[in-house]
A and B are shown apart, each in its own frame.
Chain A
Amino acid sequence: MKFISYYVTCDPIQKRRFNNVNKLISLLIPFLILLGASLKANDVKEISDSEDFDPGEMIMHHISDSHDWHFAHIGETHLTLPLPVILYSKDRGLEIFSSSKFHNDTFEYNGYKLDAHDHIHSIDESRSFYDLSITKNVASLLLSAVLLMITFVSIGNTYKKNKLKSPRGIQSFFEPIIMYVRDDIAKPSLGSKADFFLPYLLTIFFFIWFNNLLGLVPGGANVTGNIAITMTLAFITFLITNLYSNSYYWGHILNPPGIPFAVKILLVPVELMGIFTKPFSLMIRLFANITAGHIIILSLLALIFIFKSAFISIVSVPFAVFMNILELFVAILQAYVFTLLSAMYIGSAIEVHNHADHDFGH
């Protein structure tokens, strides 16, 4: 009551402020309820299935890749999307079937067996095959590719249609972000060549950001928390850095100027190692940050089942929701850090030095 009376009597500026806060709260509450409910729904199964609840196994199941996309359990009902299994072997050629074929008592189908870690093995040990299946991560990648295409093709078309006009629709949300990547990430580290590398930087920025956010949706796949995917991203940066590198870059690595010979013996191997440790750290940073976020949220929810008490949820669910909100920030921060460091690594490889600088060192 007091709140309402204050709302009625206060001056217009404060009124507007309250209005905004109310709007924000009314937007947030259904979102939070949905978030909490679906997160909990995700984990109900694990206690009903086995007497001993193993939090480690539950967490690994959630963060690892899988042959079917498991969204939630509502009571005894499974909300699972079986994904296609694609196998290639020399003797049998291409085999395509649904992963639901494995869902029988023995987990065997057509001479293949699905083990507890969701890996497919051949029952006949001497046979070898390639597993090219569309797994959960691949399906999520395809989904994010479609999302990125829809968003950015439409933005690109609007730019073509109304040149030099104010942005409209979804364009007005993304324009400041694109401008930020161009003016604050690409230009300071790449200088005049910023526009040439900008498509790559924008692509990795939005790819990582979209996939991080898709991973935070309850039931989503942990795509950027998969080391193979972060390795591929880091490898592309590694390729671009080294393919566009100039003689100054290699000169600084193989023969650092202005340094005594004795120090060079020590410094050159370190610099050579640096070529590989830079993309390696990009890979580990993204992987570890995203995976750690998922593990924290799942561990908080696992506390309820470890203590076998619903009262723990009073503490752990709000804290898990708080961590989830924090992860929304980490999602964009890690996309920013990856893009910024990629831009800096590329910038250091294409930079043209003035020889006069070398007398003073750097």
Chain B
Amino acid sequence: MFNSTFLVELGYAFLGAGIGAGIAVLGAGIGIGKIGGSAVESIARQPSESGKIQTAMIIASALIEGVALFAVVVCLLIAIKQ
């Protein structure tokens, strides 16, 4: 039923899904890392405002995470497609 060309193409699909998930995670990592870094820096400058800074940090990282998860779900859909 499965000829070799089909299997090679299926392999490429899996490869694409894997690379895509990797790149998505890379972007999210850079983004959340920058937010975390700046948040720690600002808390060090203004320890009294740490509550507000933390809330802003979590909101921003949740938004980045959302975008990254969109990408991961797309990759998952490629990977589980028969």
Flag if B70 contacts A281 (CB, 8 Å): yes
Q: Which of A188, A285, A340, A341 has the most CB of B within 10 A?
A: A285
A328 at the interface (CB under 8 A from B): no
Contacts of B58 in A (CB 8 A): 333, 336-337, 340
Q: Report the bound CA distance from A281 to B62 in whole Å.
A: 10
Please name all residues of chain A whose beta carbon is closer than 8 Å to the beta carbon of B66 when the two chains form the complex.
281, 284-285
Quote the shortest CB–CB distance from B77 to chain A (angstroms): 12
B 41-61 binary contact with A (CB < 8 Å = 1; else 0): 000000000010001001100
Q: How far is the CB of A279 from chain B (nearest CB, A)?
A: 11
- One digit per residue, 1 when the CB lies within 8 angstroms of any chain B CB and 0 when it does not, for chain A 305-349 equals 000000000000000000000000000010011001100100000
The A contact surface, by secondary structure, is helix
Q: Which residues of A contact B62 (CB under 8 A)?
A: 285, 337, 340-341
Asked if B69 lies at the interface with its beta carbon under 8 angstroms from chain A, I say yes
Roughly how many angstroms separate A259 CA and B62 CA in the complex, as a whole number?
28
Q: Which of B55, B59, B63, B69 contacts A288 (CB 8 A)?
A: B69
| Docked complex: A279-302 residues within 8 A CB-CB of B | 281, 284-285, 288-289
In the complex, chain A residues whose CB is within 8 Å of the CB of B55: 184, 188, 340
B23 within 8 A of A: no
Contact (Cβ within 8 A) A284 B59? no
Number of contact residues on A: which range applies? 10 to 19
Closest chain-B Cβ to A294's Cβ sits at a distance in Å of 14
Q: In the assembled complex, which residues on chain B have CB atoms less than 8 Å from the CB atom of A333?
A: 58
Measured CB to CB, the closest approach of chain A to B10, in angstroms, equals 15
Which residue of A284, A336, A344 has the most chain B CB atoms within 10 A of its CB atom? Answer: A284
Of chain A, the residue at the smallest CB distance from B69 is A288
* Measured CA separation A184–B58 after assembly (Å): 13
Complex CA–CA separation, A188 to B55 (angstroms): 11
**CA gap between A186 and B73 in the complex, in Å:** 30
Name the residue in A289, A337, A340 with the highest tally of chain B Cβ atoms < 10 Å from its Cβ: A337
How far in angstroms is the closest Cβ of chain A from B4? Answer: 23
Q: How far is the CA of A264 from the CA of B33 in the complex (A)?
A: 33
A284: which B residues are within 8 A, CB to CB? 66, 69-70, 73
Report Cα–Cα, A337/B55, bound state, in Å: 10
Closest partner residue, chain A, to B51 (CB atom) = A184
Contact A285 B65 (CB under 8 A): yes
Could you tell me the distance between the alpha carbons of A336 and B62 in the complex, rounded to whole angstroms?
11
Does B17 reach chain A (CB closer than 8 Å)? no
Given contacts A184-B55, A344-B59, list 19 more A-B pairs with CB under 8 A.
A184-B51, A188-B55, A281-B70, A284-B66, A284-B69, A284-B73, A285-B62, A285-B65, A285-B66, A288-B69, A288-B72, A288-B73, A289-B65, A289-B69, A340-B55, A340-B58, A340-B59, A340-B62, A341-B62
The chain A residues found within 8 Å of chain B, CB to CB, are: 184, 188, 281, 284-285, 288-289, 333, 336-337, 340-341, 344
A-B residue pairs in contact (CB < 8 Å), sample of 26: A184-B55, A188-B55, A281-B63, A281-B66, A281-B67, A281-B69, A281-B70, A284-B66, A284-B69, A284-B73, A285-B62, A285-B65, A285-B66, A285-B69, A288-B69, A288-B72, A288-B73, A289-B65, A289-B69, A333-B58, A336-B58, A337-B62, A340-B55, A340-B59, A340-B62, A341-B59
